[in-house]
Structure 1
Amino acid sequence: MKLGVVMLVHTALDRAEQMLRHWTDAGCPVVVHVDKNVSNADFARFESAVAALDGVSFSPRYRCEWGMWGLIAASRAATKQLLAKFPDVRHVYLASGACLPLRPVSELKAYLDARPDTDFIESVTTADVSWTVGGLDRERFTLRFPFSWKRQRVLFDSFVYLQRLLKHKRRLPSDLVPHLGSQWWCLTRKTLTAILEDPRRAEFDSYFKRVWIPDECYYQSLARRHARKIESRSLTLAKFDYQGKPHIFYDDHAELLSRFGCFVARKIWPRADGLFATFPRKPDPALAMQEPNSGTIDRIFAQAVDRRTNGRKGLYMQSRFTFLDSENGVTAVPYTVLQGFDCILPGFADWLGQQTGRIVHGHLFAPNRAHFAGGGAYYRGGLSDQPRLRDYNAKMFLTNLVWNGRDQRQAFLFGPADTQQIRWILSKDLQASVWVVSGAWAVPLFLSGKSASEVRSEAARLQQIESKLLETLRGPDARSRRRIMTLVEFLESPVDVLQSIVDDMAGHRANSLQKPPPMVNLDGFAQFLQDLKNQGMHPYLTGDFSENQPMKPRKPRLTKPYIVGTK
């Protein structure tokens, strides 16, 4: 018994000739269909070049257009000719001129010899599996499609809209369950003969001529009526991108294609000389019975599609840059934002950097400049400390800062005196860990030595800005990790709060704190807040300070050790 091949040729006739020789050298008879869109002169040269090959013949030519009936007419005419001319053919393999055998054809023949009654064709129902990528799904079987999607797009869309408006639905032939799948199949003679000689073929042909993309459903549906045993998979490795277009294999895919034991791959770039020189590989007895496994390559391509459509976290692709919130994560890695701590703890940024071993910047969004860690004018990625450059797109400044320093955990100081463009980013970014001591802005005003009447307007302005930030952080759409406390709450147990920050930033390498860093002297601060109230400005974000409020931190709460007993 022989393996016969039907080859559909559209372009790259020189490569099609090379593939044709691979099949005939293995003793496979081949019937070639050349698209009628190919000029007569090119067809004549191609026909002359392969005239000496044994077992090669040409079928009547049809005009093949994507999504139209011509592809079915071409494959059916070629299949009918092959079965009539070669009665010893048991399996027919549908290939194209852009296909490349990856393994010796002899191994494919042996594989089919071990499965003489099995049809290999991907065939799934639209009700069970969402097979299609974009476009129409169930409607491709219930509407009419007389117009070309590529050449007559306006007519195509208008006619679909009209049928939907009129609620028109075609009646499916009785006992026919539509199936979809890859157009690259390998079917037995018995199944193909039953399809070609089906008494209802005229009825089925009339129906499928007005189905959208019939080459993905004609054989897939009719094989279910006649096949004895179907394996719903294709022996041809054909991958599609997220738009449903065939993926093209290049020379750098050589190692990938050789890894999984697939028999044939398409679509091969005509200039991939490396692939054409490498495949099909030489016969290897150790690999002769290898089962084709496309599962791993499917996962690799799924990851590639995900990378192509979603990108990497915090890395903004040019194709999606203009689309708001289309990024795959606002920033690349976790980072920490600290508001109010430096108002109470002088030198807080340096202390935290030493304590955690992480990069702690100053106020990156200060009005005068971006205060990078180390005090430099530039940071990784060429980020400048100039406020005009930073504020031109504060979101991109932050995402670039995190991306370029993604090898280390970063933190920066923030406050109501800083530019607030990133307020919404800090709220919705899953990577952000935001710690806020509300009302801490009042401490520098107190330490300035000015009276309450002199700083009243500034205090009101800062409180209003911070209030908007807190409202955003507490909003229903907030997704960042955040802890908000008043100044009073922080002063009650500063070591516990600082220990939590250190643990969050340093992880398992965090050190246990025995005491907080030096704190500013807050004697008289309660009276200062009362003076602000007397001036008509209520500093409610600081918390409820009383005259007897302790201005010195308490000792850290010690947990009682316990012992897990053993028998």
Structure 2
Amino acid sequence: MTLGVVMLCHTALDRAAEVARHWSANGCPVVIHVDRRTPGAEVAAMKDALSDLDDIRFSPRHACEWGTWGIVAATQAASRIMLADFDRVRHVYLASGSCLPLRPVQELRDYLDARPRTDFIESVTTADVGWTVGGLNAERFTLRFPFSWRRHRWLFDRYVGLQRALGVRRRIPAGLVPHLGSQWWCLTRQTLSAILEGKQRAVHDRYFRRVWIPDESYFQTLVRKVSSNVESRSLTLSKFDHQGKPHIFYDDHLQLLRRSDCFVARKIWPRADKLYKAFLRADLGSQPRAEPNPGKIDRLFSKATERRLQGRAGLYMQSRFPNRDWVNGRSAAPYSVFEGFAELFEGFDNWLSKVAGMRVHGHLYAPGRAEFAGGAQIYNGALSDSAALRDYNPRAFLTNLLWNTRGERQCFQFGPGDNQKIAPFLVGDPNAHISVISGAFVVPLFQANRNFGEIRAEAARLQRIETRFLTALRDPSVKARVRIWNLAEFVESPMEPLQTIVDEISPRALRRLTEVPRLADLTGFGQFLQNLRNQGMKPELMGDFPVDGDLPTPGGRRPRPYLVK
């Protein structure tokens, strides 16, 4: 007794002929069906290439469009020839032109000889199916599908909607329980002949002609009616992505395919010369007689699917860029945002860079330009300091910066004078560590040589902007890690907040600060705030500064030594 192979071919007929010759050389008769839409010249070339083999047949051709009855009709036609012309065939293996044997054919024959009455076909009820994509499980058996899903999508969807609206339901033939499964099966002669020669064949065929994707349900359903020993699995390795499209195997999948222990795999890339050469060798070495186990490689496919759907943290791939928030995290790595520090401390950027051992940017969203560390005009990833380019997409500017500097923590200044369009992104990003000294924006105005009326108006404007930002930071839904001090309490005791910030940025250092940045000269600052009040502007974010000129100190003590004035 032997094994017969039915091959459904569409394209790359030269490769299909190569595989058919391999089956034939190992004692397996082959019946080939070629899609009717395939050019006749290609079919003639294939027949000519296989004309020297007596155990290869070609069946009548049907148009095999995905999801339609033609694929089932092609399988039936080829199977009838197999059963009629080759009496010694006990199992019939359905394969495609892109399938490739992975193990010696004799091993597959021995495997089937040990299970002479077993049918291998994935066959599960619609209630147990979890892999279908598109929402049609049970409905594919109760509605009619006269239109092609691929060529007439609009008609397909509208007709389905109309049937749902009208409550149309098809009657399933008596005795049938709809099942679904992989198209690629291996059935015994008895089971296959019972399906093809059954008294209800005409009724079943008429019903399944209007079922959606009947090649995944026709044999899967009828085998349950006529077979007494079904193993609900396919002997063919086939993997599908999250959209239901088959994974294609290339040359670099050679070791992966060997590890699967499967007998046959699909879908093989026609130009995978290395795979065809390795697996179609006449002296293909025998592997340990292991049970086919595609689960061995499922983990890799699961990881690939996860990567395809989620991407890498902070990487805005072209395939998902138009879909907002289709990313695995808003940004690629933690980063620090400082508001008010550069205004309160002289040379804060340089000090933090020296203490933390990293490059620290200025105001990346300043009106004039992006103030990259060291005054650079071009930064990692060819990011320009142009304000116009940055403001075209402030979010992409920051995410590109963080992606292109992975492994190096980014720190930059932010304030009410900067472009505020990035603020909602910062607030909602778990990687953002935001430290704010509220009211510090007024320190440069205090030191400015400008008319007081202009200073008052600018202070009022900046305070309104910073108030909105602080309100967002205090919202319960905020995702960023936030620390807020008002100007008075920070000036009163700056050492502890600075130490906390340095420890957060450089957790491995774990050292006490021995050098601190120079505090801006705030002599007369309290009177300045009072003058703002006298002019009609109410400073609300700075805290309490005495008008007499003395800076706030804890318990009336003298300022600490590290407060340099």
CA 294–492 in structure 1, closer or farther in 2 if over 3 Å, else same: farther
What SS class does the counterpart of residue 374 from structure 1 fall into? helix
Alpha-carbon deviation of 1:45? 4.1
Between the aligned partners of 2:124 and 2:337, the Cα distance in structure 1 is: 51
Letter paired with 1:249:
F
What SS does the corresponding residue of 1:318 show, helix, strand or coil?
coil
Native 8 Å contact 1:261 1:292 kept in 2: yes
Give secondary structure in 2 for the equivalent of 1:187. Answer: strand
Structure 2: segments with no counterpart, 5+ residues = 558-565
Compared CA separation, residues 444 and 264, structure 1 to 2 (3 A) = same
Does the aligned pair in 2 maintain the 1:453–1:532 contact within 8 Å?
Answer: no
Task: Determine if contact 1:236/1:264 at 8 Å carries over to the other structure.
Answer: yes
The residue aligned with 2:245 is 245
Distance 1:35 1:453, change over 3 A: closer
Tell me if 1:432 matches 2:432: yes
Cα distance, 1:39 vs structure 2: 4.7
Q: What SS does the corresponding residue of 1:300 show, helix, strand or coil?
A: helix
Of 146-155 and 9-18, deviating more is: 146-155
Within 5 A, what are the aligned runs for 1:7-46?
Answer: 7-40=7-40, 42-46=42-46
Residues 131 and 181, structure 1, Cα contact 8 Å, conserved in 2: no
* 1:12-91 matched pairs, under 5 angstroms: 12-40=12-40, 42-91=42-91
Change (3 A) 1:439 1:263: same
- 1:522 is matched with which residue? 522
Q: Equivalent residue for 1:447?
A: 447
Kindly tell me the number of residue pairs found equivalent between the two proteins.
554
- Say whether the 8 Å CA contact 1:120–1:232 is kept in structure 2: yes
For residue 507 of structure 1, give the secondary structure of its aligned residue in structure 2: coil
Q: 1:104 to 1:452 in 2, by over 3 A?
A: same
State how far apart, in whole Å, the 1-side matches of 2:406 and 2:554 are: 35
How has the CA–CA distance of structure 1 residues 489 and 170 changed in structure 2, closer, same or farther, with 3 Å as cutoff?
farther
> Secondary structure, in 3 states, of the residue corresponding to 1:312?
coil
Match of 1:558? none
47 and 330 in structure 1: CA distance in 2 versus 1, 3 angstrom threshold = same
Query: 2 CA distance for matches of 1:553 and 1:341?
Result: 21
Q: 1:284 to 1:493 in 2, by over 3 A?
A: farther
Q: Does 1:121 align with 2:99?
A: no
CA contact (8 A) 1:8 1:34 kept: yes
Deviation at 1:403, TM superposition (A): 1.4
Matches within 5 A, 1:386-405: 386-405=386-405
CA distance in 2, matches of 1:87, 1:442: 96
Deviation at 1:69, TM superposition (A): 1.0
Q: TM-score, normalised by structure 1?
A: 0.89
- Structure 1 unaligned runs (5+)? 556-567
Alpha-carbon shift at residue 19 of structure 1 (Å): 0.8
Offset of 1:516 from its aligned partner? 4.8
Question: Structure 1 pair 513/150, CA: closer, same or farther in 2 (3 Å)?
Answer: same
Distance 1:375 1:153, change over 3 A: closer
Structure 1 residue 98: Cα displacement = 1.5
Per the TM alignment, residue 23 of structure 1 is displaced from its structure 2 partner at its CA by 0.6
The alignment partner of 1:52 has SS state of coil
- Which is further off, 100-109 or 197-206? 197-206
Moved more, 365-374 or 317-326: 317-326
Q: Deviations over 1:423-481 (max 9, x none)?
A: 12112223222121211112222334768655211110111111222233344653222
Query: Could you tell me which residue of structure 1 aligns to residue 285 of structure 2?
Result: 284
Cross-structure match for 1:100: 100
SS in 1 for 2:338: strand
Residues of 1 paired with 2:332 and 2:457: CA distance?
39
- The answer to which of 293-302 and 104-113 deviates more is 293-302
State the secondary structure of the residue aligned to 1:11: coil
TM-superposed deviation, 1:219: 1.6
Q: Which SS does the other structure have where 1:338 is aligned?
A: strand
1:561 is matched with which residue? none
SS of equivalent residue, structure 1 residue 422: helix
Flag the 1:6–1:483 CA change in 2: closer, same or farther, 3 A. same
Contact 1:491-1:553 within 8 A present in 2 as well: no
C-alpha separation in 2, matches of 1:202 and 1:405 = 67
1:471 maps to 2:471: yes
How many Å separate the matches in 1 of 2:508 and 2:231?
A: 52
Q: Which residue of 2 aligns with 1:223?
A: 223
Cα drift, residue 296 of structure 1? 4.6
SS at match of 1:182: coil
User: Is the CA contact 1:488–1:542 (under 8 Å) kept in the aligned structure 2?
Assistant: yes
- 1:195 alignment partner in structure 2: 195
Alignment of 1:219-368 (within 5 A): 219-280=219-280, 282-285=283-286, 287-368=287-368
- Specify the SS of the correspondent of 1:127: helix
Distance of 1:509 and 1:113 partners within structure 2: 68
Which secondary structure state, in structure 2, belongs to the residue aligned with residue 426 of structure 1?
A: helix
The answer to whether the 8 A contact 1:92-1:187 is kept is yes
- Equivalences for residues 157-196 of structure 1 within 5 A: 157-196=157-196
Tell me how far apart the structure 1 counterparts of residues 371 and 222 of structure 2 sit (CA, whole Å). 70
Letter in 1 for 2:12: A
CA offset at residue 491 of structure 1? 3.7
Q: Tell me the amino acid that sits aligned with residue 236 of structure 2.
A: T
- CA 1:501–1:195: 2 relative to 1, 3 Å: farther
Question: Is the CA contact 1:358–1:505 (under 8 Å) kept in the aligned structure 2?
Answer: no
SS at match of 1:93: strand
CA shift in 2, pair 1:3/1:288, >3 Å: farther
1:368/1:277 Cα in 2 relative to 1: closer, same or farther (>3 Å)? same
TM-score normalised over the length of structure 2: 0.89
Contact in 1 for aligned 2:19/2:280 (Cα 8 Å)? no
**SS of the counterpart of 2:46?**
helix
